[in-house]
Amino acid sequence: MRNNKVSANPKKVAGERAAELVDDGMIVGLGTGSTAYYAIQKLGGRVREGLLIRGIPTSEQSRIQAEREGIPLIDFAETIRIDLTIDGADEIDPAFNLIKGGGGALFREKLVATASHREIIVADESKLKDRLGGFPLPVEVVPFGWQYVRLNLEALGCRARLRVSENGAFVTDNGNHILDCAFGAIDDPADLERRIGAICGVVESGLFVGLAHQVVIGKADGTLEERSRPQCGVDVRRKT
């Protein structure tokens, strides 16, 4: 018997749908990762068809892709207004709190998210969790004295590992390191974000609390689920 089920790439489905939500004249935050990749690719296509936008990339990787796609960029220093940002996530809880930073771009992603009028998270279903913490929390730290910073992070109840690449310690776009902190289930993301942020030497954590307004979930059967955080406007739960 032939199996007629068509299998879609859920990340592509989500990324491309979010790119359709961008309008002429917008300043758009361009996220990082394999799902945001499809949003940037689709936006590139729309720009070539006449869409007028300017992008602010959240990483060098996204900047290179956006330039290749011909998306005009604007320096963050030139604006205080970002209309809409499309970015991925490593985990999403029911309150739209996130763990981000699997790709190491969490600091720029968070700065751009805090400046964004609307933050749209694109992901596949595997990123939806009842509670955050299965994915070790990335924390960006300054290289000077990172071992001491690690001790202070571990005092909060995690096992922290220095992220490495083939050339040794992973270095972020900002010249820092990443400590991946295995906390296990995180009961109070806002409290943990505050406590991590209070440690000297921490640049930023990958906990995004209250920053996401909308999530677009792509599924393997090619359908989508879009949800808006209720307090951010109408709850537009929609299935297509």
CA distance 65 to 85: 16
Q: At its nearest, how many Å lie between ligand 5RP and the CB of residue 87?
A: 5
Q: At its nearest, how many Å lie between ligand 5RP and the CB of residue 36?
A: 6
CA 54 to chain centre: 19
Q: At its nearest, how many Å lie between ligand 5RP and the CB of residue 2?
A: 32
Residue 11: name the closest of 132, 111, 73, 103 by CA: 103
Q: Closest CB to ligand 5RP among 38 and 146?
A: 38
Q: At its nearest, how many Å lie between ligand 5RP and the CB of residue 130?
A: 19
Q: Closest CB to ligand 5RP among 5 and 88?
A: 88
Structure token digits, residue 48? 């070539």
Pairing between β-strand 207-208 and β-strand 98-99 as defined by DSSP bridges: antiparallel
Q: Closest CB to ligand 5RP among 47 and 216?
A: 216
Q: Are the C-beta atoms of residues 31 and 87 closer than 8 Å to each other?
A: yes
Rg of the Cα atoms in the chain: 18
Known catalytic membership, residue 16 = no
* Helices and strands, number each (H, E), in the chain: 6, 16
Structure token digits, residue 44? 């590139």
Residue 190: name the closest of 207, 177, 213 by CA: 207
Residues forming contacts to ligand 5RP in the complex (CB under 6 A) are 31-36, 87-90, 100-106, 109
CA distance 10 to 85: 19
Catalytic residue among 69, 109, 193, 204: 109
Structure token digits, residue 17? 């749908």
Pairing between β-strand 137-141 and β-strand 202-205 as defined by DSSP bridges: antiparallel
Q: Closest CB to ligand 5RP among 138 and 201?
A: 138
Q: Closest CB to ligand 5RP among 156 and 170?
A: 170
Q: At its nearest, how many Å lie between ligand 5RP and the CB of residue 61?
A: 9
Catalytic residues: 109
